[in-house]
Amino acid sequence: MRNAEVVKILQDIADLLELKGENQFKIRAYQRATRSIEHFPQSVEQLAKEGRLNDIPGVGEGIGKKLNELFSTGHLKYYEELRSQFPSGTSALLDVPGIGPKTAIKLSGELGISSLSELEEAIQEGKVASLYRLGDKIAQNIEHHLKLLRSKENRIPIGVALPVAENVISSLKSSPVINLTTAGSLRRFKETAGDIDILGTSDRCEEVLNTFAHLPEVKEILALGETKSSVIVAPDLQVDLRVVPHDSFGSSLQYFTGSKDHNIKLRERGRRQGLKLSEYGITELDSGITHKFTHEEDFYHWLGLSFIPPELREGQEEIELAAKSSLPHLLELSNIRGDFHVHTDWSDGQNSVEEMAVAAKDMGYEFITITDHSRGRGVAHGLDEERVLKQLERIREVEGRVGIHILSGIEVDIRADGNLDLPDSVLSKLDVVIASVHSSFSQDRDRMTKRMLSAVENSQVDILGHPSGRLLEEREEVALDFETLFSACKETKTVLEINCQPKRLDLKDSYIREAIKAGVKLSLGSDAHSISQLQYMHFGVGIARRGWCESKHVLNTLSFEEVRQWMKEKVCAPLSI
DNA sequence: GCCGTTTTCGGCCCGACTGTTTTCAGTCG
């Protein structure tokens, strides 16, 4: 059973428990376990076989037992009993923002609504507005969210969300607000965002919020209060702005950055120390004294913690490590000395070798790697043997002229049968060989794993490109035994790419962390197809940081000479796996 | 249902906003 199916069932259980009005902490326990499994890099079923379910944070005796039942019998009695207590479709109502458990029960119980289309009908007939403690406004609000839900794409990739946030921030620059910054999942650099959170400080909060709610790009105002406002901007993105007094900027930024799990853990820890944490500061419960924080760092330090970078705030073990001053020193953009994955107009890029080299030099890089596609990518004008050699000459010539080290390379296709698209005799002439899957994505796990391993075993292959093959919100990752891949990479000194294209971000954060634990080296490649895309490096660094990546884990922080040395050390012995 | 810098039992984050009400319930993040 795939993790996604387990997630679906646990989420359903949490929803049903909400409808039932169960103990809120029990509900939260299921939600927490759900979130854990959602981001868990290994197969939960496999873990169950090894009796290691308790390795998953939030999975204890009760949920563990249920998962075991589910895996061994294919059914879960508890789940089936819960489902039988409510008309089917009732929990689907909870997907509509504005409908919580109480409203869902009311709609289902009093109006017999069990689907979103029935809900829509009932609203139009005025039945919903006539219920006790509901009314026209609430009915309209639900109808509106219902429409939005239907038209809305899923979550927004960070590559789309970040520019929107930056636009809004620059539109607000002329109003009396300072400290404007992104918060929420965007600041934590999550690969996708549900909405966009922005925070600022002002002594004229209401004025700022008013300006915000009436910006030209705002299509609709969802809420407008004294400290926060929510709006929809084109194309159907929700943006939340919170404006607080200057002296609570530190605590507010901490609070609004989240994640929810991180904040809950932090506050629970505070409670045990007799402290109440909120966006307004830290209150000592004994004396009632509230401490305010202008800087977020001071908030953490006051609690006896080292500063926790936003990318780590996911409620894993970051708080415990911060208490021991044992957090990793994360990779930073300024540590990057070169790019390992760049296309030019020799294949499907827009700029010449020289233009890319000049741009990279302007960014302060020591080296750049030209890795155009191989011939199999016909649509991308992939290079055949002859053109590879011609490009090599060109690269050497440009290198001398521009004054930046250029590694010659290729992004060679891994064909469906695991063979590479160019012979070893050609690949051996290049400094860096990236091998990538660009076809037959739907192979089963066994075949795909063998396919990848045969590339890894090839002594010419230095880097495995965008290993999971996913495209955010477009294409699922391939079926692959990552654990086996990681140990093969470690054994052969094959590097795994962190592809920085915001649509890919591949490897993703949880795999990055697993790969590092397995002792695999990583490389960041912008996969730039134009000069401006060289800047994608910062997306890769963000996602690497979420994978607890330090500068020693990635090749991009090495000098040019060190990189060349590394590439020579590829282990050629056949794998023992 | 989970979990431990006091705990294997007894806790479990905290406040804003809205609409429908005359003081609050429901929802959200």
Q: How many Å apart are A101 CA and B27 C1'?
A: 9
Is residue A330 pLDDT above 70, yes or no?
Answer: yes
Architecture of domain A3-151: Orthogonal Bundle (1.10)
Question: Which amino acid appears at position A514 of this protein?
Answer: E
Least confident among A329-343, A465-479, A507-521: A465-479
Reported as a single tens digit per residue, the pLDDT across A344-397 is: 999 999 999 999 999 999 999 999 999 999 987 766 788 999 999 999 999 999
Q: How far apart are CA A553 and CA A259, in angstroms?
A: 26
Max mean pLDDT range (A88-97, A284-293, A529-538): A529-538
Q: How many Å apart are A275 CA and B8 C1'?
A: 25
A436 DSSP β-pair partners: A413
Architecture of domain A156-244: 2-Layer Sandwich (3.30)
Tokens standing for residue A47: 């873990």
Using C1' positions and the CA of A23, the closest nucleotide is B1
Contact residues for A6 (Cβ-Cβ < 8 A; gap 6+)? A37, A44, A45, A67, A70
Nearest residue for B21, CA–C1': A133
Q: Enumerate the CATH 3.30.210.10 domain ranges in chain A, comma separated.
A: 265-323
Give CA torsion, residues A144, A147, A149, A150, to 10 deg.
180
Specify the pLDDT at position A151.
66
Q: Enumerate the CATH 3.20.20.140 domain ranges in chain A, comma separated.
A: 333-569
By the 10 Å C-beta count (0-12 exposed, 13-18 middle, 19+ buried), A440 is classed as middle
Q: How far apart are CA A98 and CA A92, in angstroms?
A: 13
Is residue A194 pLDDT above 70, yes or no?
Answer: yes
Specify the pLDDT at position A153.
58
Reported as a single tens digit per residue, the pLDDT across A115-155 is: 888 888 888 888 888 888 888 888 888 888 888 777 665 67
Residue A575: band (very low, low, confident or very high) from pLDDT cuts 50, 70, 90: low
Is residue A305 pLDDT above 70, yes or no?
Answer: yes
Using C1' positions and the CA of A319, the closest nucleotide is B5
- For domain A333-569, give its CATH number from 3.30.1360.30, 1.20.1260.10, 3.20.20.140, 3.30.499.10: 3.20.20.140
Specify the pLDDT at position A190.
93
Nearest residue for B25, CA–C1': A133
Q: Enumerate the CATH 3.30.460.10 domain ranges in chain A, comma separated.
A: 156-244
Q: How many Å apart are A133 CA and B21 C1'?
A: 8
Q: Give, for A145, the enclosing helix (H) or strand (E).
A: helix A136-151
Is residue A100 pLDDT above 70, yes or no?
Answer: yes
Tokens standing for residue A468: 């999971």
Specify the pLDDT at position A392.
94
Average pLDDT of every residue of chain A: 90
Least confident among A2-11, A54-63, A146-155, A312-321: A146-155
CATH number of A265-323: 3.30.210.10
Question: Which chain B nucleotides are covered by protein, judged by CB under 7 A?
Answer: 1-3, 5-7, 11-21, 25-29
Least confident among A227-236, A446-455, A535-544: A227-236
Using C1' positions and the CA of A275, the closest nucleotide is B13
Specify the pLDDT at position A73.
94
Is residue A489 pLDDT above 80, yes or no?
Answer: yes
